[in-house]
Amino acid sequence: MNSLKNTTEFLHIGNKILKWYDKNARDLPFRNTKDPYKIWICEIVFQQTRIAQGLGHYNRFVERFPDVKTLSEADENEVILYWKGLGYYSRAINIHKAAKQIMNDFGGKFPSDYDDILKLKGVGKYTAAAVSSICFGGKKPAVDGNFHRVLSRIFADDFDITQSTAFTYFSELAFLIMPENVGDFNQAMMDLGSEICKPKNPNCTECPVNEDCIAFSLDKTSQFPVKTKKVKVENLSLKYYFVHRNGQFLIQQRGDDFIWKKLFEFLPEVPSELSPFIKNVKTLNHKLTHRNLTIEIFDTEIDSEAVWKALIKEKKYIISDFEDSQNRSFPKPLENYIQNTLKD
């Protein structure tokens, strides 16, 4: 790659991609604005969520929190609630903190400089490049999985995308084909990677740059990008007690460490004297990105009013019911348990 630096030989590729984008850009609501707040939110939402699945969530979120000030002043639990269904709740916690940063450090005005955007909580190089290029004319490529895939195939480049230097490496490759309009180019690469240059079964015959794609000419698109490092999947066991009486049940809020940050959960442990009230146990399996969870939920029905009163008096648990639980964010398996157990 180093020998290809400082050349205009490949700029026609980027221009072809832009021309294709002009005719084929997806009609998305956030494409009709240059509001950096909304572009930022959409970039965070769709980091781990496909557009078809996340679009409704995005619309509801920006309707409730239409600007930085509204988001910064909201209660954290409400922000998490409006993130419900998107998963990876640390993203919601981070954007709430970032909104406060913008109010405190930038006078409530979304920063326009790439380096300043990068200072925001939860914002990485990709998001900073996307927001700065789309909204402020920044000149950095928003390198993500789409860039890895498209560029590695165009150049038949076997650089391992799991390497720590992958962002820098593919940024330099992107500069080789990147036209002047970087904002549209970044969005074009997103669409090309999502709609044409797919991970499996790419639509190469419809690709605007198939004549320039070395991997296509060699019939080796399936071999790129190269990814050698396998992510180790951890097996994790969790135990919960669903302590309930007359439609009410006890919960607590998780901390901001480990998984499911700040979400609500059942009790992970109970006093030994509650053992006689355990009716049965249900085992659930749930998969996270790098973890396989085995979750045991002990149905603990307190049929003694005295024991119930003593329990809630002694411990600082939150008393919830089905209606209340709908206004809180629980991990998906616990949310499903509540639905299946309590909903009429």
The amino acid occupying position 128 is A
- Nearest to residue 139, comparing CAs of 172, 182, 171? 182
**Separation of CA 294 from chain center:** 23
The amino acid occupying position 141 is P
Spot the catalytic one: 43, 63, 73, 76. 43
User: Which residues fall within 8 angstroms of residue 192, CB to CB, at 6 or more apart?
Assistant: 17, 20, 21, 146, 150, 207, 208
Burial group, residue 281, by CB count within 10 angstroms (0-12, 13-18, 19+): middle
Helix (H) or strand (E) holding 245, with range, is strand 234-245
- Nearest to residue 311, comparing CAs of 272, 340, 281? 272
180 catalytic per annotation = no
User: Which residues fall within 8 angstroms of residue 24, CB to CB, at 6 or more apart?
Assistant: 191, 195
Tokens (6 digits) for 260:
């499911």
The H helix count followed by the E strand count for the chain is 15, 6
| φ, ψ for residue 152, nearest 5 deg | -65, -30
The amino acid occupying position 318 is I
Q: Are 277 and 247 in contact (CB under 8 A)?
A: no
Q: State the catalytic residues.
A: 43
